[in-house]
């Protein structure tokens, strides 16, 4: 049975971690717990909730900077930004459907996973927008790193080190981000019936084009038919989705040229513009792996693979050869969401596909606790890198009291 | 700098011989004349001749040299193009310089995935030149881009004129190969995005050669914008120019470049290259918008409307590539132009929250009077990166010291308004003693422990970045133990 405690402020957090370091008793750190099932199960009997470290403490729209407590719900941040016509350009993904959790979680959780959505290849990742942190390290000491300005090389980039560290080095109390203007206009095109083999080169071509699309995904029929808004096309075949953003006049001009490019690749493609709300829904679903929340995939293990875009068709072919599986592509082919009915040993085939085709990494994104204990959730590291990672862990958290085991055994 | 190790100095001959066993003939420089060019970098006020310079030609040789130095207790200062403005490549009397200049090949260009794999000694500009034929380029463009190398860019997290829209080096590097001081070769990232595990790539970027030596870099390539247009604006005062910048951003426009120059810088530039800048203004702004053609035209119109609204007294728009280049000429030559105003100049590099600019400029003017040294200012207005240029004459006794004191006072003023000590030039030797204005002891201890994780014996570029050197064993000690702290009074849920 897990003992659950809640911090009221940053000084509670500091005391709780200092105590843990003195006693060598670990904490599992949670915001709203929406991503507890991501990563390896934490080896800790006590849980520390950061929900009270909530609130935006600085927001200067014309400086493009926002600072908030790590326990601030993402929805609150997005709402505040929307009021000023701004957004988080890396498009925070919402995994609530995939994990069956309520809401998109907190800023701290998002940073801990360095999680970015469909706009990532064009706009950069979460870590690319991270400017500064205040945090308590596993030593129980408060420290700050980075700052609030756009350009800063003063000292090591510890804020970015914390992004993607799953709370195993330090626990952020405050996080400062670069925010950006939300595009004035946006439209999403659905292209019906383009086979994967044709669609992926098309997406790469579009990604390098002057039209600069900000969303490029391809969904084989089995996935498209699960997404509200795409079903009418999805019932007939694969669906390719292209998002175009910019000024009103810019979007109109881009649209015409994108359609022309698509027709060059496939003459017979059916093209339709998605209504605004439906488009928003579709991108949220895609970014959050939500298609795999569908009933037909219940109990399936789900992977998120970052691959070399041009190798994507080859990786996908090897994955699909496993049978009893489904996948879709985002990031112009650079990201593959792959689900399969649970089977032993499949992780070797998944990671083997990457080794054979240009490298990359595969994260076991959704699986049972048992599976996530037995199968490396994150891409295994070569020895020298693993040793360096352990030394970094040791530097920040010498007693191993922060989320032990969440990333790798012993880290 | 740390006191030279007498034991190492005494073993000079043996160390040179040891390096020659690894690199053969011409890979080691140890004669006085040959060492001279390596005694300083772009921060020429500091000079020191090293024991030797090692010039490896492969990752394997880099690893062997580092392993040798690690085993022999010899310090290593990595060096790329030697253009650091913060003394990042300043040698140590009891150390060697590891020059990466011979690792200068573009290894592969992968246009399908819009990336290139290059060795660290390739210059920044050479990357863009290697892919220009296909319409691509590498975005970060520090003004030393003809000479500075990509390895040095990674070490310093170099920036340039287009950072607000296109980011710094850290946003444009997909992967690296690095060698640790123990000689381990580690590859990070690659042609895919967001490699998981601790983001050591981000930590290495901007680590100023203190953590490891970069031997290969995978950079992101961008399609050259379909079009780019620039607007030159003149203002009667700095506040109006500052307001214009804020309104452009608030209007949802992210210019590719947004540069500001003050009166002294404008006059110097105009005299130097006759770019046609207005001389009857206090500040000019150059705003460049790039991207999709019809959109660029619409945004240029909006920028003009905003500028008129805040009282711009001068306005000129580029209608061709030649006109655009001409608008930029003065800014791009601002440093040499200002350099003609005095025998020497000293470039500062603070970043501030943009809205504090008018007050920081007034403060700089006050300080300039107090120290009796002229200061011209160029400013990457989009991202708040300020480059005050302090004019002085090193031949006048005490003037260099006064210029350095003025520089410290300016950077301290930047920190006081919520800014930072360095936006793109690095801490190096130059600003290491100011780290305490921005970070407390605990903040610095967390950074130094990170150094310990890579280089526990402080062999790599010691004496840079941190005001004092601490032993790793001392930094790592935890001062609380079981039974000493009460369990905090936390609510359960």
Q: Note down pLDDT in tens along chain B; length 493 residues.
A: 888 999 999 999 999 999 999 998 789 999 999 999 999 999 998 999 999 999 999 999 999 999 999 999 999 999 999 999 999 999 999 999 999 999 999 999 999 999 999 999 999 999 999 999 999 999 999 999 999 999 999 999 999 999 999 999 999 999 999 999 999 999 999 999 999 999 999 999 999 999 999 999 999 999 999 999 999 999 999 999 999 999 999 999 999 999 999 999 999 999 999 999 999 999 999 999 999 999 999 999 999 999 999 999 999 999 999 999 999 999 989 988 998 999 999 999 999 999 899 899 999 999 999 999 999 999 999 999 999 999 999 999 999 999 999 999 999 999 999 999 999 999 999 999 999 999 999 999 999 999 999 999 999 999 999 998 889 999 999 988 899 999 999 999 8
What pLDDT shows up at residue A221? 93
Q: Is the pLDDT of residue A2 over 90?
A: no
- B466: nearest CA in chain A? A155
- Which residues in chain B are closer than 8 Å to A111, comparing Cβ atoms? none
What pLDDT shows up at residue B188? 98
Q: What is the pTM of this model?
A: 0.97
Mean pLDDT within A311-326: 97
| CA atoms of A13 and A49, how far apart (whole Å) | 9
Mean pLDDT within A232-246: 90
What domains are defined for chain A? 49-181 (3.30.465.10), 185-287 (3.30.70.2190), 290-374 (3.30.70)
Q: Which of B384, B156, B376 is nearest to B259 (CA)?
A: B384
- A307: nearest CA in chain B? B192
- A382: nearest CA in chain B? B186
Contact B252 A85 (CB under 8 A): yes
Chain CA centroid to CA B163, Å? 12
Task: Provide the percentage of residues in chain A whose pLDDT is more than 70.
Answer: 100
Q: Tens of pLDDT along A65-76?
A: 999 999 999 999
Q: Is A193 left (phi over 0), alpha (psi -120 to 50) or beta?
A: left
- Of B168, B223, B487, Cβ closest to residue A208: B223
What pLDDT shows up at residue A262? 87
| CA atoms of B165 and B173, how far apart (whole Å) | 15
Give B191's DSSP letter.
S
ipTM computed for the complex: 0.97
| CA atoms of A171 and A97, how far apart (whole Å) | 26
- In chain B, what are the domain boundaries? 6-99, 106-223, 227-335, 342-426
CATH class as words, domain B342-426: alpha beta
- B357: nearest CA in chain A? A63
Contact B351 A152 (CB under 8 A): yes
Give residue A101's pLDDT band: very low, low, confident or very high (50, 70, 90): confident
Task: Provide the percentage of residues in chain A whose pLDDT is more than 90.
Answer: 91
**Where are any strands of DSSP class E within A275-353?**
301-307, 325-330, 335-340
- Which residues in chain A are closer than 8 Å to B454, comparing Cβ atoms? 388, 391
Give residue A268's pLDDT band: very low, low, confident or very high (50, 70, 90): confident
Pairing verdict, β B350-351 and A130-137: unpaired
CB A117 within 8 A of CB A92: yes
CB A204 within 8 A of CB B112: yes
Answer whether B426 touches A (CB < 8 Å).
Answer: yes
What is the least distance, in Å, from the CA of B339 to any CA of chain A?
25
Separation of first and last alpha carbons in chain A:
23
- Of B223, B254, B423, Cβ closest to residue A181: B254
Contact A139 B478 (CB under 8 A): yes
Answer whether B322 touches A (CB < 8 Å).
Answer: no
Domain B6-99 bears CATH identifier 3.30.43.10: yes
What pLDDT shows up at residue A232? 79
| CA atoms of B28 and B486, how far apart (whole Å) | 59
Q: Which of A158, A93, A97, A147 is nearest to A119 (CA)?
A: A93
Mean per-residue pLDDT over chain A, rounded: 95
For chain B positions 164-203, those within 8 Å of chain A (CB to CB) are 164, 167-168, 170-171, 180, 184-188, 190-200, 202-203
What pLDDT shows up at residue A231? 80
Q: Tens of pLDDT along A336-368?
A: 999 999 998 899 999 999 999 999 999 999 999
CB B343 within 8 A of CB B393: yes
What pLDDT shows up at residue A1? 63
Answer whether B226 touches A (CB < 8 Å).
Answer: yes
Contact B163 A150 (CB under 8 A): yes
Contact A154 B291 (CB under 8 A): no
Q: Which CATH number fits domain B106-223: 3.40.50.720, 3.40.1390.10, 3.40.50.2300, 3.30.465.10?
A: 3.30.465.10
What pLDDT shows up at residue B1? 81
Would the CATH topology of B106-223 be identical to that of B227-335? no
Contact A65 B353 (CB under 8 A): yes
Domain B227-335 bears CATH identifier 3.20.20.10: no
């Amino acid at each position: 049975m897990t003992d659950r405690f809640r911090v009221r402020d940053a000084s509670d957090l500091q005391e709780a971690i200092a105590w843990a370091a003195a006693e060598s008793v670990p904490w599992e750190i949670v915001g709203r717990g929406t991503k507890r099932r991501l990563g390896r199960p934490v080896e800790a009997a006590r849980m520390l909730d950061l929900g009270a470290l909530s609130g935006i403490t600085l927001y200067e729209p014309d400086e493009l900077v926002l600072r908030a407590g790590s326990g601030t719900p993402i929805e609150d941040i997005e709402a505040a930004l929307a009021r000023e016509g701004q957004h988080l350009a890396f498009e925070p993904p919402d995994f609530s459907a995939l994990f069956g959790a309520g809401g998109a979680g907190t800023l701290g959780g998002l940073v801990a996973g360095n999680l970015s959505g469909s706009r990532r290849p064009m706009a950069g990742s979460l870590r690319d927008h991270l400017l500064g942190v205040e945090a308590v390290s596993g030593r129980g000491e408060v420290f700050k790193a980075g700052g609030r300005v756009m350009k800063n090389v003063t000292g090591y980039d510890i804020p970015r080190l914390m992004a993607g560290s799953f709370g195993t080095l330090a626990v952020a109390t405050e996080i400062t981000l670069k925010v950006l203007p939300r595009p004035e206009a946006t439209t999403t095109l659905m292209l019906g019936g383009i086979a994967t083999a044709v669609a992926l080169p098309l997406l790469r071509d579009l990604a390098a084009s002057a039209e600069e699309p900000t969303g490029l995904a391809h969904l084989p029929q089995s996935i498209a038919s699960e997404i509200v808004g795409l079903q009418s096309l999805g019932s007939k075949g694969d669906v390719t989705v292209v998002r175009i953003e910019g000024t009103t006049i810019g979007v109109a001009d881009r649209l015409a040229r994108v359609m022309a490019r698509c027709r060059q690749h496939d003459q017979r493609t059916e093209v339709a513009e998605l209504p605004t709300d439906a488009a928003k829904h579709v991108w949220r679903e895609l970014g959050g792996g939500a298609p795999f929340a569908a009933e037909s995939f219940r109990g399936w293990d789900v992977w998120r693979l970052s691959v070399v875009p041009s190798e994507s068709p080859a990786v996908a072919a090897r994955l699909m050869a496993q049978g009893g599986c489904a996948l879709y592509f985002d990031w112009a082919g650079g990201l593959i969401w792959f689900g399969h009915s649970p089977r032993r040993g499949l992780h070797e085939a998944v990671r083997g596909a990457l080794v054979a085709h240009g490298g990359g990494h595969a994260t076991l994104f959704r699986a049972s606790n048992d599976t996530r204990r037995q199968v490396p959730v994150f891409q295994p590291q070569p020895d020298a890198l693993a040793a360096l990672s352990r030394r970094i862990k040791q530097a920040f958290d010498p007693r191993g009291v922060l989320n032990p085991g969440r990333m790798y055994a012993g880290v | 700098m740390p006191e030279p190790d007498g034991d190492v100095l005494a073993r000079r001959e043996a160390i040179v011989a040891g390096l020659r066993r690894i690199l053969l003939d011409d890979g080691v420089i140890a004669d006085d004349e040959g060492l001279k060019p390596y005694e300083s970098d772009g921060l020429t006020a500091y000079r020191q001749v090293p024991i030797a310079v090692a010039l490896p030609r492969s990752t394997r040789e880099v690893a062997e040299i580092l392993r040798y130095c690690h085993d022999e207790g010899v310090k290593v200062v990595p060096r790329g193009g030697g253009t650091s403005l913060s003394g990042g490549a300043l040698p140590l009397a009891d150390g060697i310089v590891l020059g990466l200049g011979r690792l200068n090949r573009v290894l592969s260009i992968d246009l399908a995935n819009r990336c290139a794999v290059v060795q660290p000694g390739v210059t920044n500009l050479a990357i863009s030149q290697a892919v220009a034929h296909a319409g691509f380029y590498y975005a970060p463009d520090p003004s030393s881009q003809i000479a500075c190398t990509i390895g040095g860019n990674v070490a310093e997290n170099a920036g340039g004129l287009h950072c607000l829209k296109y980011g710094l080096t850290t946003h444009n590097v997909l992967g690296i190969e690095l060698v640790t001081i123990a000689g381990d070769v580690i590859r990070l990232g690659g042609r895919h995005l967001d490699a998981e595990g601790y983001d050591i790539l981000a930590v290495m970027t901007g680590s100023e050669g203190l953590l490891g030596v970069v031997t290969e870099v995978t950079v992101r390539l961008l399609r050259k914008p379909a079009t780019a247009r620039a607007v030159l604006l003149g203002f009667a005062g700095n506040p109006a120019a500052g307001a214009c910048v804020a309104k452009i951003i608030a209007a949802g426009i992210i210019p590719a470049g947004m540069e500001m120059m003050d009166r002294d810088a404008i006059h110097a530039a105009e005299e130097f290259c006759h770019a046609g800048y207005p001389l009857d203004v206090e500040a000019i702004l150059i705003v460049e918008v790039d991207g999709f053609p019809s959109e660029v035209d619409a945004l240029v119109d909006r920028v003009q409307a905003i500028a008129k609204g805040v009282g711009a007294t001068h306005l000129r728009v580029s209608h061709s590539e030649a006109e655009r280049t001409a608008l930029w000429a003065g800014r791009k030559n601002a440093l040499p132009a200002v350099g003609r105003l005095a025998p020497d100049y000293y470039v500062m590099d603070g970043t501030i929250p943009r809205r504090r600019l008018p007050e920081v400029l007034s403060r700089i003017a006050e300080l300039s009077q107090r120290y009796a040294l002229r200061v011209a200012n160029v400013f990457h207005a989009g991202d708040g990166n300020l480059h005050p240029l302090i004019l002085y004459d090193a031949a006048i006794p005490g003037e260099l010291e006064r210029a350095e004191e003025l520089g410290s006072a300016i950077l301290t003023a930047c920190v006081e308004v919520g800014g930072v000590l360095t936006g793109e030039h690095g801490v190096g030797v130059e600003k290491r003693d100011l780290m305490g204005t921005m970070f407390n002891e605990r903040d610095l201890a967390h950074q130094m422990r990170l150094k310990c994780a890579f280089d526990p014996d402080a062999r790599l570029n010691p004496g840079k970045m941190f005001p004092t050197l601490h032993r790793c064993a001392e930094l790592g000690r935890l001062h609380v133990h079981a039974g000493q702290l009460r369990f905090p009074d936390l609510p359960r849920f």
